Amino acid sequence: MLSFILKRIGSLIPVCLGVLLVVVGMIHFVPGDPVDIILGDYATLADKNALRHELGLDETVIKQTGRYIMHAAQGDLGHSLIYQKSVNELIMERLPATIRLAIASLLVALLISIPLGIIASVNAGTKIDFAAMSFAVSGVAIPTFWLGPLLILLFAVELGWLPVSEMGSWKSYLLPAFSMGIPLAAALSRITRNSMLDTLKEDFVRTARAKGCSESRVILSHAFRNASLPLVTVVGLQFGVLMTGAIITEKVFDWPGLGSLLVEGINTRDYPVVQGCLLFFSGSYLLVNLLTDIAYSLVDPRIRLST
Amino acid sequence: MTTQVAQSPSERVRQKLAGNARFWIGATILGVTFLIAAFAPLLAPYQLGNADLLERLCSPHAGHWLGCDLEGEDVLSIMLYGARVSLYVAFLTVLLSMTIGTVVGLISGYWRGWVDLVIMRLVDIFMAFPGILLALTLTAIMGPSLFTIIFAISVTGWTSTARLVRGQVLSIREREFVQASRALGAQSGRLIRKHIFPSILTPLIVHASFSLSSVIIVEAGLSFLGFGARDSVLTWGGLLGQASQVEVDLAPHLALIPGAAIFILVVGLNFLGDALRDALDPKS
């Protein structure tokens, strides 16, 4: 087990280095001088040189890249040009809102997808199955930037049941969580159904029925327990989707999370913030994937043996 | 005595597609969108560029069936002309990203060894940026234009094709017909061109239809966030971008109409992809 974990961590090192190079390189190799973009056309040469020096852009690319990587490896993501705070501080301020929204969305997705997937699999080939899978196919295609305003118009503007935007009480979580959770629920319900259909054909399910277990016990305790394994992986992989989905959802609902920080950073040309957010998003995505792999290998030892 | 006539693979695919309702729904949606794009100048009630400032953000009424946008342009006309740009961006981006992904995947899967190792690490690096993150940052840094959007989505979108192609090539290069051709002296270029590439076309076609739908959503997402093209007619996503600049209850039609069009087109493409996958899969 330990060798599996070490091997998996080892394979992440070149990827992390590559991610760092892409993040730093984007500023250098993409057309356009960041100083010109930040200060605009009317800044004096002295101002431009001062900012170039402040950003360290007057050094060689190799030196800049090396310095950024050294700092990032120590957890220092630089200093914001606009907020006059460290990027770490800014990320830590905004992170809780994004995580709370991601967890709420995941909860919504699981609460919808698990019962729906189970019901569809038990009634495979019937109208119930068709209805559930129609939701799955169309739900995946619903863009958050459309579902969000739809939910706002219906539940906040027309019915007045929920607040329009901004983080506050538990009620303020409902609309953004549903607008991010519904497309995810659609994808997960399809996976739950397919996994359940495979498991329901297994011998141990037939044995459980033959032993006289009630149908609900066979489905929930025997079949679903085994069918839930693929869900673990997919939920882990969907974490990245939730984190970046937050960029659009946070814009729709005026949510003060990391996604908003990234968009604000881009709009104000605050490159240290943009680089910090990119690194944080991709770093946490890689970490969650690693943890998912480890969790999965704990549950299914064949994963360890095949690597 | 009854004799059973063996069906050719193409006949079987055609028959499977003809009997699949999702194929017809998907094909109809895509076909109608193409027709709208082709005949936009004939169908549009107003020429673009004739904004009426007095009608800014007006709700749908007899004069403007789908209302007006922030500039006072007719939304129906923008939707019709915008279909052209949306489809142009989607098809060109998919063509570009799939070409890059196919070439990279073929090289990686065929030559294996260190070439494969380096390429797959590169793919891992690009895939470490989830969703629209990288495309968003690239578009923002390079400035919002049609070219930038196509470039940014292609640069970040080739990885899934490369992985798919590599996986296919790894298995196909070991098959008997490829080995036999190699034993007869065929060079790598010929093997790839004549044997391997035609064998991976089926999964590539299915992948293309799903890629189209994801490109449409990414482009619209970028436009919604304010990083859409500003050097062309508004795309459907561009209209959504306008919607994000005003309170949602002030001009709900700006968000709902292009959003609904994008949703319908994406559902159609997903249906088409599902149907093609079912029909082209020899195991099904």
The predicted-structure confidence for B246-280, as pLDDT tens digits, reads as follows 877 788 888 889 999 999 999 999 889 888 888 88
The pLDDT value given to residue A107:
93
User: What one-letter code names the amino acid at A265?
Assistant: G
Q: A42 or A33: which carries more pLDDT confidence?
A: A42
ipTM over 0.85: no
- Residue ranges for chain B with pLDDT beneath 50: none
C-alpha to C-alpha distance for B134 and B126, rounded to whole angstroms: 8
For residue B88, the SS3 value is helix
What the block records as the tokens of A43 is 């800044």
What is the number of residues in chain A? 307
B151, B219 in Cβ contact below 8 A? no
Q: Do A285 and B274 touch (CB under 8 A)?
A: no
Q: Which two tokens stand for residue B259?
A: 């959003």
Q: Give the C-alpha separation, B85 to B235, whole Å.
A: 6
How does B94-133 read in b/e, with b if 16+ C-beta sit within 10 Å? Answer: bebbbebbbebbbbbbbeeeeebeebbebbbbbbbbbbbb
Q: How far is A119 from chain B (nearest CA, A)?
A: 22
> What pLDDT was estimated at residue A25?
80
pLDDT at B4: 58
Token pair of B152 as six digits: 């940014």
- pLDDT value at A306 more than 70: no
DSSP assignment letter at B228: S
SS3 B247: coil
Residues 6+ positions from A174 with CB-CB distance below 8 Å: A155, A162
Q: Dihedral of the CA atoms B182, B187, B188, B192 (nearest 10)?
A: -80
Binned at pLDDT 50, 70 and 90, residue A304 comes out as low
The SS3 assignment for B5 reads coil
- In chain A, residues with a C-beta closer than 8 Å to the C-beta of B126 are 22
Q: What percent of chain A has pLDDT over 90?
A: 19
What is the average pLDDT value for chain B, to the nearest integer? 87
Give the whole-angstrom CA distance, residue A80 versus residue B156. Answer: 26
**Is-contact A273 A83, C-beta < 8 A?**
yes
The confidence band for A66, taking pLDDT boundaries of 50, 70 and 90, is confident
Q: Give the model's confidence band at A290: pLDDT under 50 very low, under 70 low, under 90 confident, else very high.
A: confident
Of A31, A37, A266, the CB nearest to B137: A266
Question: How many Å is the Cα radius of gyration of chain A?
Answer: 24
- On whether any CB of chain B is under 8 Å from the CB of A122, the answer is no
Provide, for chain A, the percentages of residues in helix, strand and coil under a 3-state DSSP scheme, each rounded to the nearest 5.
Answer: 80, 0, 20
Q: With an 8 Å Cβ cutoff, are A32 and B141 in contact?
A: yes
Distance CA A92, CA B215 (A): 32
Average pLDDT, chain A: 85
Q: What six digits make up the tokens of A71?
A: 């700092």
Model confidence band, residue A32 (pLDDT cutoffs 50, 70, 90): low
* Contact residues, chain B to chain A, C-beta under 8 Å: 121-122, 124-126, 128-134, 136-138, 140-143, 213, 217, 220-221, 224-227, 240, 243-244, 248-249, 252, 255-256, 259-260, 262-263, 266-267, 270-271, 274
Does A229 reach chain B within 8 Å, measured CB to CB?
Answer: no
Task: Give the tens place of pLDDT for each residue, B154-170.
Answer: 988 899 999 999 999 99
The percent of residues above 70 in pLDDT, for chain B, comes to: 96
Which among A65, A60, A56 has a CA at the least distance from the CA of A21?
A65
Residue B74 and residue B66 in contact, taking contact as beta carbons nearer than 8 Å: yes
